[in-house]
Amino acid sequence: MSNATSPGVSTPQVSTPRVSGERQRSRVAVKAEAYVALTKPRVIELLLVTALPTMFLAAGGVPPIGALLATLLGGFLSAGSANAFNMILDRDIDRVMHRTQRRPLVTGTLSVTEARVFAWTLAIVSTLVLGLFANWLAAGLSVAAIAFYVLIYTMLLKRRTEQNIVWGGIAGCFPVVIGWAGVTGSLDWPAWILFTLVFLWTPAHYWPLSMKYRDDYEAAEVPMLAVVRGRPMVGIQVILYAWASLACTLLLIPVGGMGLLYSGVAIVAGTWFVVEAHGLYSRAIKGDREIRAMRVFHASNTYLTLVFLAVGIDPLLPF
């Protein structure tokens, strides 16, 4: 007897356990990706770029592996918690802005309750990791960083003042002092200089991005400097903060006892960043259609990465 199906006769499709399992795994993967997205991993990468080299400088070489791992893991979870809280509070803005419309709370991949439980879990776990396996000073600074980013920047400043990035950017400075405290259990002048460097760098880094997405911020009624004051004013402010960043990196040379590698990188990379900032202003006042604001944004990332790489490598060198 033939098992062939007669032409024109359809065979009912029976769901198999294998297909059901694949769909279940797919749903799990989508959820997992959404939770990762909630932490803003690209932002966390930049924070770790500042924390890890600072630990090498604090230790005067290679830091104890236990403190290093605990501080990095705790810092990662802490930043992820702050970013998750930020997405919960800013989900109305994210629905309006084109560049944020794929975030998990906008698409509905995660519920607000799921996100809130996740954010609190990361906050608690990060505090315990830092406190138990590094020290409680680092843990306290981590709690302060989350509170500042959520309460001061997201809830108080972001929607009320054009200086939101300036003062809200303090939250992004905390990984430096958390890294230093995680290794030494204390805070010294070099840590505060690096803290100030990140503070001064942040407006010069973020304001060009706000120029690129000016229409988004205007639609969301977020008073970014580019919306309130216009592109030439942004260009001037980027120049001022770029110069201030360069000066701050040079201050670390005598205070931190930095060597030739760091000194050379600070001068060369800082000069390049200042030149890029002046170029942005020049294009802004000329009214160029292609202002290339993202060129300065990416340059700022490269600049900070180079400086902090030098911070971490310099203590390992004999000169």
Domains of the chain: 36-186 (1.10.357.140), 188-319 (1.20.120)
**Residue 319 confidence class, pLDDT cut points 50, 70, 90:** confident
Q: What is the pLDDT of residue 10?
A: 44
Residue pair 129/70 in contact by the 8 Å Cβ criterion:
yes
Q: Residue 39 to residues 124, 141, 189, 247: CA-CA distances in angstroms?
A: 15, 19, 31, 32
pLDDT in tens, 9-59: 444 444 555 555 556 668 888 899 999 999 999 888 888 899 999 999 999
pLDDT at residue 21, rounded to an integer: 57
Chain centroid, CA 9 distance in Å: 58
Interval 59-66 mean pLDDT: 96
- Angle of the 112-133 helix axis to the 65-89 helix axis, nearest 10: 160
Residue 284 binned pLDDT confidence (cut-offs 50, 70, 90): confident
Q: What is the pLDDT of residue 257?
A: 94
Q: State pLDDT tens for residues 73-91.
A: 999 999 999 999 999 999 9
Residue partners of 239: CB distance under 8 A and separation at least 6: 274, 277, 278, 280, 281
Give the pLDDT confidence score for residue 16 in this predicted structure.
55
The model's pTM is 0.89
Q: Which two tokens stand for residue 204?
A: 């010069």
- Can you give the pLDDT at residue 219? 92
- Give the tokens for residue 74: 């705790």
